Structure 1
Amino acid sequence: MAEETKALRIYFVTWNVATKYPEQDLHQLLGISNSTFPDFYVIGLQEVKAQPQNMVMGMFTDDPWTKAFREILKDHAYVKVRTQRLQGLILNVFCKTQHLTHLRFIEAQLTRTGFGGMWGNKGAVSVRLNIYGVSICFVNSHLTPHDHLLAERVADYNTILKEHTFTTPDTASIFYHDYVFWIGDLNFRLNGEDLTAEDIDILVKKNQLDLLLDRDQLKVVMHSGEAFSELVESNITFPPTYKYEFASQQFDFKRRPSWTDRILYKVNSEVYEGIKLKADQTFYKSHPSYVQSDHKPVTGEFDIKVRLNYQDQNVTFQPVAEWFIDEENCVSYKLSGSLGPESGDWIGLFKHGFSSLDDYEVYEYVGRGRAAPPTESDSLTDRIYFSDSALQSPGMYQLVYVRQSGGTVGILGVSSPFPGYRRLRSNIT
């Protein structure tokens, strides 16, 4: 019997920002003018400014690019699930709030390939997760540059595959996932020294892209099986994305133009009985109007199949009427089915409308809660108390139940919004 399915839409951005700060409006890049919004935004950046002082601050705050994307997406009910950074290489995953409680086993990883693996100026960062019964791995990489260093790019790829591992046994390697999306500045160039930058420019202006793509190094190594042969790529119909003069849509002939910036994917389609997984790409394009880098950003969008009747075990919060400043406050919650608390579980207090899972005000481990007797045969009701210093200012708040185990994170429950304020004291003595 066929299993019921539904589709999730994932929107990808990859852009080498050439150490520049956000200057141009990013709405068009994110397709915000569209009437429908994707379920996920996955944004991979390369060459984000990574001076030592920026890296230290980056341990505690978002970089300017991540902040800029967050400011836009929070107005459309997205939450940043995870950021993973390796020097100038950044991967951000944003999720519609309606899907948060279906996220499981979120994990991030990185691999350095620069200077023989000693330095993080090149390499890969990733975020993997489970949702609606399928596993997805997002990889953002920046590989060795220059026309003549093809062998080094192939070596980078194989190093990433070998060293990039996760803690979840069933998906310990990148290609063990149901869906893999590999984006980034892969830095593959065009073969043939006989082809000058000026020659390439002429062929692009004549829209004879196929003549150039026949020389594309990435397509060559995919066909030979040397690298990226496990993945597929939709047809390229846009001009080379590198190298451009800054503040211009004209090529900079100091380098031969090439398609360095790519979006590839893989589907392990036959892994579940009664369902065939697939990914349908709705578009693949570059954005020439963005001129602050010598690269043009590339975007792509996919509809992927997930398992509609897959049942997550969740936590349900009992309604909270109100919390008070400078008082101990509590909440009761119910764990569904056979789900029981684990040692790494915690509940975070967030401001209503939070735009990142890192934005909790305070948190309490569930082991500190005082348990109430079970109210139903198949569920467990618990209560957890927050100290009188937890709530600091008036406003609307939400609680989030987080399962943190073995290096992974899952979101098991989110409460309805509730008010917090200072209790009015009577002056009567």
Structure 2
Amino acid sequence: MTDFLLPESIKYVQNIYVVGTQENAMNKKEWEIHIQEILGPTFVLFHSVTHGSLHLAVFIHRDLIWFCSVPEDDIISTRAVTMVKTKGAIAISLSFFGSSILFINCHLTSDQSRKKERILDYQKIISGLKLPRSSTSTSKDATANFDCVFWCGDLNFRIDRKKSAVEGKVTEITESSIPNYEDLTRGDQLTKTITEGKIFHGFQEGRINFRPTYKYDVNSDNYDTSVKSRIPAYTDRILFRSKKKNHISCLHYDSVMSVMMSDHKPVYGIYQMAVKPGRDFVMSAAGNFDRDVYLKANQRRALRLATSEVKNQKSSTICSIQ
């Protein structure tokens, strides 16, 4: 998880960390404590929301929580009748200084051939979200109510090519001295659907220059060897949109190959966002955060560091120089 939250390629910690997961079987409170433990005491869990196996958490540098509005959240289920809540979307909105921000985490319909259902899922989400609560907008797209929108999740769009062709291309690209995955993304369903204007209007995405993140054999870097033999694809994505041009820029976009607990490889993005001056009439969150998660995580962190220090002392030896 450290490779995912604090990758070595990034020199600085960020001001805000937003973590969205799908099919997360871990106890949600334990998951939040685990993230908090890794980020350390300079960050706090500002708000989180969960729906079945979907989870979304916003961690903010503790010096900046005084400049946030009271957070709001909403849940959209894209399956009409189901006991297992695995598909749908969850969202958190807030104002940071004077900029309104919406974070969305989703899990859309799976299967190679069900592209139309994924488009319908998207439409149901943008029309069903009721954020911000105070909005009087008549727009059928809730994302239009915000200055900045970040949308992540398992969008489940696939690559329309044969598996052997995709795997062969991946091998060819990874062995190249300058890897370039543009040939693969030409067959990407999501890219094509956006270009056709059917989905994610006005959204952008960082340049994909990493291997398809789906589907792997668990605890390996091998693509699916099961009977279903699924075609590798870029199912896991992060898209963003700002009302004003160039108010969001993607600085880094990558996947983490070292994470092997899932049949997906996690994707992360680093973004720079222009922030408008604060507004006095916005209801402040008054520095509120999840203190229980903060205390438990930092107690564990302190114990782990102390245990590690003791082990290092026991394993040290005296070196004599002649």
Give the TM-score range, shorter chain. 0.7 to 0.9
Please state how far the C-alpha of 1:105 moved relative to its aligned partner.
Answer: 3.5
Q: Give the residue type in structure 2 aligned to 1:30.
A: L
Matches within 5 A, 1:1-400: 26-31=1-6, 33=8, 34-49=10-25, 62=29, 64-75=30-41, 77-115=42-80, 120-166=85-131, 167-169=133-135, 173-191=142-160, 195-207=161-173, 209-253=181-225, 254-269=229-244, 278-307=247-276, 309-310=277-278, 312=280, 356=290
Deviation at 1:224, TM superposition (A): 1.1
Q: Are the counterparts in 1 of residues 76 and 90 from structure 2 also a CA contact under 8 Å?
A: yes
Given residue 158 of structure 1, which amino acid in structure 2 is its aligned partner? Q
Count matched residues. 281
**CA shift in 2, pair 1:346/1:123, >3 Å:** closer
Q: CA RMSD in A?
A: 2.7
Letter in 1 for 2:257: P
Structure of higher CA gyration radius: 1
Whole-angstrom CA distance in 1 between matches of 2:291 and 2:99: 21
The answer to whether the Cα contact below 8 Å between 1:278 and 1:304 also exists between their aligned partners in 2 is yes
- Alpha-carbon distance in structure 2 between the residues aligned to 1:154 and 1:206: 32
Structure 1 letter corresponding to 2:71: I
Higher helix share: 2
Question: Gaps spanning 5+ residues in structure 1: where?
Answer: 1-25, 270-275, 315-338, 340-344, 362-429
Cα deviation for residue 91 of structure 1 reads 0.4
Give aligned-pair identity as a percent.
31
Rounded to whole Å, the distance in 2 between the matches of 1:150 and 1:294 is 21
Shift of 1:99: 0.7
C-alpha separation in 1, matches of 2:199 and 2:279: 37
Q: Note closer, same or farther for the CA distance 1:295–1:359 as it changes in structure 2 (3 Å cut).
A: closer
- 1:360 is displaced (CA, Å) by 10
CA contact (8 A) 2:115 2:157 kept: yes
The 1:136–1:358 alpha-carbon spacing in structure 2 relative to 1, beyond 3 Å, is farther
Structure 2 partner of 1:12: none
Answer yes or no: is the 8 Å Cα contact 1:81–1:357 preserved in 2.
no
1:366-401 per-residue CA deviation (whole Å, 9 max, x = no partner) reads: xxxxxxxxxxxxxxxxxxxxxxxxxxxxxxxxxxxx
SS in 2 for 1:137: strand
Residues 227/277 of structure 1: CA separation in 2 closer, same or farther (3 Å cut): closer
**Aligned-pair CA distance for 1:120:** 2.7
Using the TM superposition, give the Cα deviation of residue 312 of structure 1 relative to its aligned residue in structure 2, in angstroms: 4.2
Match of 2:310 in 1: none
- What is the letter of the counterpart of residue 223 of structure 1? T
**Runs of 5+ consecutive residues of structure 2 not aligned to the other structure:** 174-179, 296-322
Structure number with higher relative contact order (C-alpha < 8 Å, ≥ 6 residues apart)? 2
Compute the TM-score of the two structures, normalised by the length of structure 1: 0.61
TM-score norm. by structure 2 comes to 0.80
Cα distance 1:178–1:118, how it changes in 2: closer, same or farther (>3 A)? Answer: farther
Q: Which amino acid aligns with 1:213?
A: T
Offset of residue 168 of structure 1:
2.3
The Cα shift of 1:116 comes to 6.1
Paired amino acid for 1:256: I
